[in-house]
Amino acid sequence: MRQRLKFYVSAQSTSLRAHLLEQVVFALCSWLPGLPGIALRAMAYRLILHMRGWAAIEPGVRICQAGNVTLHDGVYLDHGVYLHACPAGIEIGENTYVMHRAELHVYNFRHLEQSGIWVGRNCIIGENSIIRGQGGVTIGDNVIIAPHVQIMAVDHVFDDPTRPILEQGLRAFGITIEDDAWIGAGAIVLDGVHIGQGAVVGAGAVVTRDVAPHTVVAGVPARLVRRIQRPRAAERRAGIARQLVGQR
């Protein structure tokens, strides 16, 4: 029983003392609705996590390993959001919105060194999306993640047919999504994928390979649909500007 209790506390918090403080803060503040609740949590949650400015946290947000969570100024956590961090943490950048029932989860019980989730500025993580960060997930600035997206930076090893898959361990290489990308509704991004700047992933796509910058991919598995190019008028203006610079 003692071992199970120790395991529970270690999964929920960074220490027994931190766990007790977090539970008191949650009991007093996590349920209060409206602006008074948001204001109270913006102040009280500084006792249990790292705030770099003021964050708006709605009622019903669940946070485990709060001492490993960093929220920057202007972050918004909607109702039912679930954050589960690891020692390397979850960090959410300025003015990023994490919408209803989204889950950012890094339960690193396998002690993978690269585990963590880092989200940039001005991003949107849509409703019911799941980000698993055992292999490390890095998301740039101005990224749009539509509802029901799954970003899964972890995979099971299953090469030995004589052993249960559960006993064969994990492999995790990590996922990177660069600035200005848009991940369409219901898409799945699998471990080891790098999505380039300004890329678009179509709704329902399953991304198993890298996506080049400024391209559109779709399908199962995701394949190139087209390249995103500047309008011809913009290209002409850019060419004229280059010529003028060259003449100086």
Annotated catalytic residues are 156
Cα(119)–Cα(162) distance, integer angstroms = 40
Secondary structure class of 131 (helix, strand, coil)? strand
Cα(26)–Cα(99) distance, integer angstroms = 20
Cα(88)–Cα(64) distance, integer angstroms = 13
β-partners of residue 207 are 189
β-partners of residue 95 are none
Query: Is the CB of residue 197 less than 8 Å from the CB of residue 159?
Result: no
Cα(141)–Cα(180) distance, integer angstroms = 6
- What the block records as the tokens of 62 is 């669940």
